[in-house]
Amino acid sequence: MGITHRRLGRHGVLVSNICLGTMNFGWHTSEEDSFRIMDRALELGINFFDTADVYGWSVEHGHTEEIIGRWFAQGGGRRDAVVLATKVYNPVDRRANLPEVNSDGRSLSAYKIRKHCEGSLRRLQTEWIDLYQMHHIDHACPWDEIWQSFDALIKQGKVVYPGSSNFAGWDIATACQEASKRGFMGLVSEQSIYNLDNRMAELEVIPACRHYGMGFIPWSPLAGGLLGGASKKQKAGRRNEKSNMEQSDKKRDQLGKYEALCEKIGHPPGEVALAWLLHNPVVTAPIIGPRTIEQLERAVRAASIQLEEEVLKELDEIFPGPGGEAPMAYAW
């Protein structure tokens, strides 16, 4: 199968079935290497890039968006080749603009959405954001205010599609129903944690996305590296940080069975974890966060793996989910 392009839920835009996450850019990956990874991603057919206004971490919030902006500024059709996603919700503390520090906290206020959209556009050196995602739910802010802000940005040509991240199933339903009442487009996608080791999204988030025709974009597909061959790496003297070792020790039996199964079918654990996500028809594109081109290319190889039904059954036995969708998972 390899890299293919599919609609974002029921919407018309076509995105690659692997999404390039950029959280490591400027943090674990230099700007020069980040440029190489983005160029290589386009060569491999990946046109879906995800970032956030807060990425940059120890350097400076927004630094990752600036790196992407400088990459776009090289020209060569880069911006037009990318379906670009970024996010709003967290405070963006800019050392060069101290009065803004903690001035708007974590929220989805109209003030915050407008100001942070303008900031992202400047840093990304672009006139529009293809997918502008609410990075988290803000239960204290009314949907009248949120949807009015997004509608204004869409009419101004600054945002094409609105999306969500880390929403519960009922948050998705509320957002979509409130948008429908106003004749607005509503959410086109949800970005949520989902992997073999964390399948809680199967209860209500994935069913909600399917019901509303939304794309589903899993983050942390390898569970922070746990599903990338953690046991073997630990034995080789890698992943020996205390938190990693504690996590691996808690799941020693599961990981042992998982890695043995991966060895039996002849594919690396990290690639099997991605292939498992891609077999789900509701999944649009898992987000990968490569620090190197080699990691990028391994993820692309995963898109060509076809898992047999017997293997999928074994994976369910090793990493059982919540029992299906709510309420059948826990009620008659």
- For 270-315, the pLDDT digits (tens) are 999 999 999 999 999 999 999 999 999 999 999 999 999 999 999 9
Of the candidates 166, 90, 83, which has an alpha carbon nearest to the alpha carbon of residue 131? 83
**pLDDT the model gives residue 101:** 43
**pLDDT the model gives residue 13:** 98
**pLDDT the model gives residue 95:** 55
258 is catalytic: no
**pLDDT the model gives residue 249:** 81
Of the residues 55, 89, 132, 194, only one is catalytic, namely: 55
Q: Which residues of the chain have pLDDT under 70?
A: 1, 94-104, 232-245
Give the chain's end-to-end CA distance (angstroms, integer): 39
Give the whole-angstrom CA distance, residue 74 versus residue 193. Answer: 33
What's the predicted TM-score (pTM) here? Answer: 0.93
How is residue 286 annotated by DSSP? P
Cα four-point dihedral sign 16, 18, 23, 28: negative
Using CA atoms, how far residue 175 sits from 65, 117, 142, 171, 187, in Å, is 27, 20, 10, 6, 7
Q: Could you list the beta-strand ranges (E) of the chain.
A: 5-7, 14-16, 19-21, 48-50, 83-88, 129-134, 159-165, 189-193, 215-219, 287-288
**pLDDT the model gives residue 273:** 98
Which amino acid appears at position 128 of this protein?
W
In order of start, what are the domains of the chain with their CATH numbers? 5-228+269-318 (3.20.20.100)
**pLDDT the model gives residue 59:** 80
**pLDDT the model gives residue 240:** 55
* Residue 91, token pair as written in the block: 């405070």
**pLDDT the model gives residue 243:** 62
**pLDDT the model gives residue 250:** 86
**pLDDT the model gives residue 98:** 41
pLDDT digit string, tens, across residues 141-169 = 999 999 999 999 999 999 999 999 999 99
**8 Å CB contact between 282 and 216:** yes
